[in-house]
């Protein structure tokens, strides 16, 4: 049978393990040899025991575990052609030319560059005598499939990325804990949630926690937000509310693109109302912990489909990324989705908020 390899890359996310497990088990089920590559592209460049032959049993008891048990790393070497040549050598040595990458848009872009260069890399390896023409022939095309793992839900073309739901569980637990102490002392809490370029976690957190105000990157508040925020807080108190929750995405900014930070919000409330408030930065707590039921199922569905897709791929197949659309698992062109995701980030940089939202909204 064929050999496939799966690896995780970029920031970890709950559900990555479930996806690795599903990829491996579907490969075994279909009579293929599955490899897991440790430490992402770094392991692929290093070779040796970073390549692990996987069996049905080697992925037992990981579906519930957060993070990625096979590791993830940022790899400078893979950014260079020389590094990618080493990675190609390590793959060809094991007769692997089918890869499943579980990661964010950056990791998926890296895989596509590798795919485009593949033939040239193999030619170089043959020319320098590192691999034989027969080896080259056996692995002549590189087939890649993407699965998106990211707690930010920042990838265009999918309703949800793996890890988002678990992160929301962590955030919900944290906000519930904060709310009980805030209620007792009639306090205002400003909670910072993750999401560099994407306000999804912030928006959903705001709804589930009945927050009074949400700051997120794609929808900066009006320039007079200071006044609006404070009058909202005041009104809530007049209505008898004992606490206030304000959610702020770590990447929040104003209409001029200037960052809005939790500390700034705290200061505004103090200066205008003379009210004290507390800040809680949730940080990496959001990325860890047990994997939610939904992320486990999503990972199983996406991982299994990724293996089928990578095995079905031929020399003329456009590389795909596995997505969820209307609760169905689908394959869509990888680079179209990556490019749209990157266009959103560019629109945010250009302070074109309407464009960012429009790009993100189209499935």
Pairing, β 33-37 against β 143-148: unpaired
How big is the site for ligand F6P, counted in residues (CB under 6 A)?
A: 9
Residue with Cβ nearer ligand F6P (196 or 237): 196
DSSP run (H or E) holding 332: strand 328-333
Residue with Cβ nearer ligand F6P (71 or 89): 71
Rounded-to-integer distance, Cα 205 and Cα 248, Å: 10
Q: Is 151 in the site for ligand F6P (CB under 6 A)?
A: yes
Q: Is 170 in the site for ligand F6P (CB under 6 A)?
A: no
Residue with Cβ nearer ligand F6P (83 or 106): 106
**Active-site pick, 12, 152, 165, 212:** 152
Q: How far is the CB of 137 from ligand F6P (least distance, A)?
A: 40
Which residues partner with 348 through β-bridges? none
Residue 250 CA from chain centroid, whole number: 16
Contact string (CB under 6 A) for ligand F6P, positions 176-205, x = contact: ------------------xxx---------
| From candidates 143, 287, 331, 360, binder to ligand F6P by CB under 6 A | 287
Instruction: Check: CB of residue 218 under 8 Å from CB of residue 274.
Output: no
| From candidates 250, 253, 296, 298, binder to ligand F6P by CB under 6 A | 250
Q: Is 295 in the site for ligand F6P (CB under 6 A)?
A: no
DSSP state of 242: -
Which residues neighbour 246 within 8 Å (Cβ) at sequence distance 6 or greater? 188, 189, 190, 191, 211, 212, 213, 214, 215, 229, 265, 277
Q: How far is the CB of 193 from ligand F6P (least distance, A)?
A: 8
Q: Is 356 in the site for ligand F6P (CB under 6 A)?
A: no
Residue with Cβ nearer ligand F6P (164 or 209): 164
For 190-221, letters b (16+ CB in 10 Å) and e give bbbbbbebbbbbbbbbbeebebbbbbbbbbbb
Q: Is 108 in the site for ligand F6P (CB under 6 A)?
A: no
DSSP run (H or E) holding 216: none
The residue behind tokens 């575990």 is: 65
- 152 catalytically annotated: yes
Q: Is 81 in the site for ligand F6P (CB under 6 A)?
A: no
**What residues are annotated to the active site?**
152
What residue ranges bind ligand F6P (CB under 6 A)?
11, 150-152, 194-196, 250, 287
């Amino acid at each position: 049978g064929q050999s496939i390899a799966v690896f995780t890359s970029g920031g970890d996310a709950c559900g990555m393990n479930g996806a690795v497990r599903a990829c491996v088990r579907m490969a075994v089920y279909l009579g293929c040899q599955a490899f897991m590559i440790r430490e992402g592209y770094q392991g692929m460049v290093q070779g040796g025991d970073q390549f692990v032959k996987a069996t049905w049993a080697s992925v037992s008891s990981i579906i519930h575990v957060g993070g990625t048990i096979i590791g993830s790393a940022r790899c400078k070497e893979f950014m260079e052609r020389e590094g990618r040549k080493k990675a190609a050598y390590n793959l060809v040595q094991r007769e692997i030319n089918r890869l499943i990458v579980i990661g964010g848009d950056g990791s998926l872009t890296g895989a596509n560059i590798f795919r485009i260069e593949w033939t040239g890399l193999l030619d170089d390896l043959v020319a320098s005598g590192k691999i034989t023409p027969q080896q080259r022939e056996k692995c002549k095309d590189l087939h890649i499939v993407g699965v998106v793992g990211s707690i930010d839900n920042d990838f265009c073309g999918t309703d949800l990325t793996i890890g988002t739901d678990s992160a929301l569980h962590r955030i919900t637990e944290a906000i519930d804990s904060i709310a009980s102490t805030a209620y007792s002392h009639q306090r205002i809490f400003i909670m910072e949630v993750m999401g560099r370029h994407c306000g999804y976690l912030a928006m959903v957190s705001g709804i589930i926690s009945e927050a009074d105000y949400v700051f997120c990157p794609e929808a900066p508040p009006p320039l007079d937000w200071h006044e609006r925020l404070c009058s909202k807080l005041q009104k809530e108190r007049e209505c008898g509310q004992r606490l206030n929750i304000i959610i702020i995405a770590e990447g929040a900014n104003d209409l001029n693109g200037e960052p809005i930070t939790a500390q700034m919000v705290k200061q505004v409330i103090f200066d205008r109302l003379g009210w004290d408030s507390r800040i809680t930065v949730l940080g990496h707590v959001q990325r860890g912990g047990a994997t939610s039921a939904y992320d486990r199922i999503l990972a199983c569905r996406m991982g299994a489909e990724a293996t089928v897709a990578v095995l079905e791929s031929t020399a003329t197949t456009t590389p795909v990324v596995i997505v969820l659309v209307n609760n169905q698992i689908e394959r869509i062109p990888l680079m179209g989705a990556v490019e749209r995701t990157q266009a959103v980030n560019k629109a945010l940089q250009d302070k074109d908020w309407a464009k960012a939202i429009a790009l993100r909204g189209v499935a």
